[in-house]
Amino acid sequence: MNIEYNADVIVVGGGPAGISAALEVARAGRKVVLLERSHYAGSKNMYGGAVYTHALKEVFQEDFDKISYERVINSHTWAFLSEDSSFELTYKNSSNNHAYAIKRFNLEKQLIELVKSKGVYFCPDTLVVDLVTNENRVIGVKTSIEEYLAPVVILADGVNSLLARKIGLRQDFKRHDFILSAKEVYKFDKKTIETKFNLKEDLSNGINKQYFGSDFGKLKGYKNLFMMSFLYTFKDSVALGVGVNLEDLSKNKLNISDVLDEVKKHPHIAPLIENGEMIEYSAHLIPEGGYKKVPALYSDGVIVAGDAAGFVNGVHFEGTNFALISGKLAGKAALHALEKEDFSASTLSVYRKYLENSFILKDLYSYRNIINNLYKRSNSLSVYYPNKIKEFFEIITSANCTSKSSQIRKFAYNFIFGRNPLDTIKDMFAFLKCALDVFFGK
């Protein structure tokens, strides 16, 4: 059959993965159509707040210095929360600029301006409802209004990727493979936020905090909640959010916005958003299946990139870099097929090779067991250790007229025998296994 194509490549999804894929194809002078269901790209997308500059540089290239950002994120804190305490480890580097805080609508806005300037035909308000196939090969997409045809279709339609599921590339994601996250954004005037967080007027510093712990407020008593909270500072606002494994929410009949309400009330978090005006609420899924759940990444005429392929490193909150670079590699694979004029799965399999040679499949492989290992020890991470850390620091900070040695001996005894010692051994093994996996990873 002689097919009349509308473009060389069609990309579904105007998030970082789709935009980057379209850009790669357009830079080679090929005709590419980018379809996005929302009115403007970014309006349906959500994240914590940090985009990684190394990936941005690869995508923006000579335009990198023109990117408008709200702060350089160069202070990272890991905090363990108990009912009334917080133990925080902070790493700061004033000359590091590995990440920028950029609001999502602004990230996608700048990316879309860039791709349009390189010749990408961008269609907002366009929902793709199905794929068009011919003799089992994908040859285009069906929108709610019409069909667009191209020899290669790149699916970058995000975490749910109904299209990858429809075409049979992705099947067995379970509730356990997702984190559900809710986030609120609080606005302050610039001076207030600078004083509150010790931030510089010139936007050259910014904060990211990751909180572990769930044993507080109305969450007290819930066991095995795999939960992490986060905070990012922007120019004149703060994003505060929480993510909980979807299966844990459902087993405990918990609502994610109720969990966020408890986080907001924690005595060491509440002051950080106090007097701020809540200007945004959003909720979104994060794929957490990792390496073991990476779907089939291509088939005849079609490639999957970004969240649609489950490319996220949840341990370090990295997703935009995986999306930007996997999109770029998907674009590169499409160009390879166009050059060979062969759009079969066997030609498109070059995509997997590109991913294997990049940090994407290497990191996913190295971290393949970590989320599951931590998940199995979630009670230790969220309840037991945050409380033990508190007990320890109470001893060394209380000067309570009791000998320190006797208190520390009692603490050590309780630490080892206060619960089934097998649990402590399992924790040690799990943490050691995580460390060894990364050390001996790819």
Ligand X SMILES: Cc1cc2nc3c(=O)[nH]c(=O)nc-3n(C[C@H](O)[C@H](O)[C@H](O)COP(=O)(O)OP(=O)(O)OC[C@H]3O[C@@H](n4cnc5c(N)ncnc54)[C@H](O)[C@@H]3O)c2cc1C
In the complex, the residues that contact ligand X under the rule CB under 6 A are 12-18, 35-38, 41, 44-51, 127-128, 156-159, 181, 183, 241, 243, 284, 286, 306-308, 312, 317-321, 323
| Nearby residues of 418 by Cβ (< 8 Å), 6 or more positions away | none
Q: Shortest gap between Cβ of 296 and ligand X (angstroms)?
A: 17
CB-nearer residue toward ligand X: 283 or 395: 283
CB-nearer residue toward ligand X: 180 or 389: 180
Q: Shortest gap between Cβ of 104 and ligand X (angstroms)?
A: 8
CB-nearer residue toward ligand X: 127 or 395: 127
Least Cα distance to 49 among 107, 102, 97, 99 occurs for 102
Are the C-beta atoms of 197 and 66 separated by less than 8 Å?
Answer: no
Q: Shortest gap between Cβ of 356 and ligand X (angstroms)?
A: 19
Task: Round to whole Å and give the CA distance between 223 and 219.
Answer: 9
CB-nearer residue toward ligand X: 49 or 276: 49
Q: Looking at 30-103, list the stretches that DSSP marks H as alpha helix, in order from N- to C-terminal side.
A: 53-60
DSSP symbol at 276: P
Q: Shortest gap between Cβ of 422 and ligand X (angstroms)?
A: 34
Q: Which stretches of 64-160 are assigned E, i.e. beta strand?
A: 71-72, 75-81, 86-92, 99-101, 121-123, 128-134, 137-143, 147-149, 152-155
CB-nearer residue toward ligand X: 320 or 382: 320
CB-nearer residue toward ligand X: 67 or 128: 128
Are the C-beta atoms of 124 and 41 separated by less than 8 Å?
Answer: yes
Are the C-beta atoms of 12 and 163 separated by less than 8 Å?
Answer: yes
CB-nearer residue toward ligand X: 46 or 296: 46
Q: Shortest gap between Cβ of 299 and ligand X (angstroms)?
A: 18
Task: Round to whole Å and give the CA distance between 61 and 426.
Answer: 47
Task: Round to whole Å and give the CA distance between 152 and 316.
Answer: 32
Q: Looking at 16-90, list the stretches that DSSP marks H as alpha helix, in order from N- to C-terminal side.
A: 16-27, 53-60
Q: Shortest gap between Cβ of 42 and ligand X (angstroms)?
A: 7
- Structure tokens belonging to residue 281: 């609420």
Q: Shortest gap between Cβ of 29 and ligand X (angstroms)?
A: 24
